[in-house]
Amino acid sequence: MNNQGLKIVTIGGGSSYTPELMHGFISRYEQLPIREIWLVDVAEGEEKLKIVGEMAKRMWKASGYDVDIRLTLNRREALKDADFVTTQFRVGLLNARIKDERIPLSYGQIGQETNGAGGIFKALRTIPVILDIVKDMKELCPDAWLINFTNPSGMITEAVIRRAGFDRCIGLCNGPITVMKEEPAMLGGKTEDYFWRFAGLNHFHYHRTFEKSGKEVTKQILAAMSVFDSANMANVQDEEYLSDHLNALNCIPFSYHRYYYMYEQMLERELAEYRNHTTRAESVRKVEEELFELYKDPSLCEMPELLKKRGGAYYSDAACEAIMNIHNSTGNLMVVNTRNRGSVSCLEDECIVEVSSIIAANGATPLAWGDFEPSERGWLQIMKAMEETVIEAAISGDYGTLLKAFEINPLIRHGKGAKAMMDEMLVANEKYLPLFSEKIKELKDSGVIIHDETVRVLCEKGL
């Protein structure tokens, strides 16, 4: 940071989330003296970048703060001497997410953005790109902090820290903040009445809840969840957990655990959405279209209420709070993706976990959770092994390694059907998987085709 303030760069600046990010920076300006914000995107997202960029400029003008907003498709130009870099991009845009959801569902399997086959392919597309970004950062802004919000956040953060060797990185998710904001309603309390401890993996963490007096209320929360889960994420179907299972737990599962614990019910709901063309990706695309129409309004200078339907509630609280805590070395607690360092005893010390941590100028210092019981320990070890295998496949472009990742993923039913699904997803993602180009050509030559009509149309259009 120079004497005039911070330079912040947002990769994926044309995202519909950007106004919430701007809102977060504006509300924290007294703690974060920002000089300039660069919004960066790719050619495919140029139109959205211009729309949301003008919206961002109006928001800052209305705030009364003198912050320079710059828009560019030149990432290297933006990164030069940055203090913080935030990432919120989606390789392949929402059309790629539609493929991630609809192809597995066409095989009668879970289709979801960060879980199962869809999550694997999102990682395959994203990891090579984030590694290129880090390569540029090492050259152009080696002292900057990378604040990653791009999903799957845990795998992306692990690739950055362990594979690229860039330690100045913290991965974020809005899920824990949603829990802390919404869970107290189950006990008739408010956020300020409680404190939390989180540990596990991104979209697969567990937590315990305590009153400020120190009394643990985890069991009361679990009992209340049998009736109503106020902390469930907006983008996850609110399928009820089995009450006997909740009664046997000593820690609270996250919304995404429903895909694993309530597989059949979640799949049944998703298949109905698939048939009605109301999958989450297709629904989000409609919300985004509405949002960008709102953003075009030259009189709009504040974050619209509709943005909450996008599924990223409290996003700015996570991203902006992390930057503020690092810049001011506050020592405040946040739930972030960082090196384990013994905080989760059943996982390797150097792997990336999502855990309650002290955030200061040196980054994240995780708090020790201790031992998990056998059932939760087993889940975490399987999921971490799957993540590590996916990362290896994304970096190597090795087909056999990718097949191993599919075989270990608990949401994928194994066998020839899983391989056929994987092959079809490779062909559908050809444009964004150059490391697999030879294998994809071989698959196409052998007759692998796209069966889902919606996905086939996207591919024919080169999307």
Q: Which residue has tokens 């009364």? A: 64
Q: Which residue has tokens 């005039």? A: 4
Q: Around Cβ 461, how many Cβ atoms within 10 Å? A: 8
C-beta separation of 281 from 97 below 8 A? yes
Q: What's the half-sphere exposure (Cβ side, CA atoms, 13 Å) at 256?
A: 25
Helix (H) or strand (E) holding 116: helix 116-140
How many degrees, rounded to 5, is the angle at CA 137 between CA 131 and CA 142?
130
C-beta separation of 231 from 179 below 8 A? yes
Buried b (16+ CB within 10 A) or exposed e, 439-448: bbeebeeeeb
How many degrees, rounded to 5, is the angle at CA 312 between CA 306 and CA 313?
75
Query: Given phi > 0 = left and psi -120 to 50 = alpha, else beta, which region is 386?
Result: alpha
Distance (Å, whole) CA 409 – CA 443: 22
Burial class (CB in 10 A: 0-12, 13-18, 19+), 236: buried
Q: Is 449 helix (H, G, I), strand (E, B) or coil?
A: coil
Q: Which residue has tokens 């209320």? A: 217
Distance (Å, whole) CA 105 – CA 90: 21
Nearest to residue 433, comparing CAs of 401, 393, 386? 393
**DSSP output for 212-247:** TTS-B-HHHHHHHHTT--TT--TTS--PPPPHHHHH
Distance linking the first and last C-alpha atoms of the chain? 39
Residue 277 to residues 309, 451, 455: CA-CA distances in angstroms?
Answer: 18, 15, 12
Contacts with 69 (C-beta within 8 Å, 6 or more apart), sequence order = 36, 37, 39, 53, 56, 57, 60
Q: Which residue type is seen at 441?
A: K
Q: Which of 17, 107, 194, 256 is catalytic?
A: 256
Q: Is 256 a catalytic residue?
A: yes
Active site residues: 256
